[in-house]
């Protein structure tokens, strides 16, 4: 099986989920699902189909999309099974950091003026 996501890879999601993430939840089949869901959510919330227009985007914009998608997918990985973490607090702290990064990247992508700049419509 291969990575099927557009914005990020299984390895990038696994790194963000951390060393204590469940081996099952970082399996490629699971991560492919999480990434597909994250990409769809990003496209819907920002009201722009970044997936269809990905090839024409600059490296900077692709990195923002990678950050958003990998953060959200890593949250899904962690919440699937928190038993490998030293404590529930550790897992929750990681989720909070990932959520903050996701929301920060999403706010950049949502901003219409920034979005117009990123897709070359200024």
Q: Residue ranges per domain, the chain?
A: 10-118
Q: What is the pLDDT of residue 103?
A: 98
For the entire predicted model, the pTM comes to 0.92
117 pLDDT band, cuts 50/70/90, is: confident
Rounded-to-integer distance, Cα 26 and Cα 44, Å: 25
95, two tokens: 């989720």
Predicted confidence (pLDDT) per residue in 38-69, tens digit: 999 999 999 999 999 999 999 999 999 999 99
Rounded-to-integer distance, Cα 10 and Cα 36, Å: 11
17, two tokens: 């989920």
SS3 state of residue 8: coil
């Amino acid at each position: 099986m291969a990575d099927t996501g557009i914005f990020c890879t299984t390895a990038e999601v696994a790194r963000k989920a951390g060393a204590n993430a469940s081996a099952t939840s970082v399996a490629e089949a699971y991560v492919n699902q999480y990434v597909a869901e994250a990409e769809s959510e990003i496209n819907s919330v920002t009201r722009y189909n970044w997936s269809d227009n990905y090839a024409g985007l600059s490296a900077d914009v692709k990195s923002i999309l990678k950050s958003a998608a990998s953060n959200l997918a890593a949250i899904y990985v962690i919440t699937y099974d928190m038993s490998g973490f030293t404590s529930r607090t550790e897992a929750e702290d990681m989720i909070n950091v990932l959520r903050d990064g996701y929301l920060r990247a999403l706010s950049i992508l949502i901003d219409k003026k920034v979005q117009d700049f990123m897709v070359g419509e200024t």
